[in-house]
Amino acid sequence: MSEEIKVGAVAPDFTLKDQDQKEVKLGDYKGKKNVVLAFYPLDWSPVCTTENKCLNDDFPKFQSANTEVFGVSRDSTYSHKAWQETLGLKHRLLSDMSGDTAKKYGMWLDDKFITKRATIVIDKQGVVRYVKVQEILTARNDNEILTALKSLN
């Protein structure tokens, strides 16, 4: 298992497909927007559903903080599409089926074949400014993420 990424590290670039089969490249946001990577274990699970609904409810706050929010899990783009439509999610969901991106950030659980529940805030320069890893069954706190974003502006 790779070491968890630390605050101050340069965020590893990646290219993943979203729920609409569109490629998302982290490097495309450099100099333009902050990025929140919300790693979560699986679509359709209770805690993940609740917290993604919360991210959705707070979507305007993230937009006003000039931030792009991405949910990242090992689920397929097809699962993401169905889940996004069912929940009416506004943020994009990235498919990391191989776990390669999660591994670059130290957020992969080899023994469970899923990502950790973790939040990473990356500033416009591509530097990691906030990292929080949580228990799998504990939902993330959007207010903590928004506070971290406020400190960037």
So which residues are the catalytic ones? 48
Strand locations in 26-90 (E): 34-39, 67-73
The Cα–Cα gap between 139 and 87 comes to 17
Contacts 24+ apart (CB under 8 A), 123-126: 123/34, 123/152, 124/29, 124/30, 124/31, 124/32, 124/33, 124/34, 124/66, 124/152, 125/30, 125/31, 126/10, 126/11, 126/13, 126/26, 126/27, 126/30
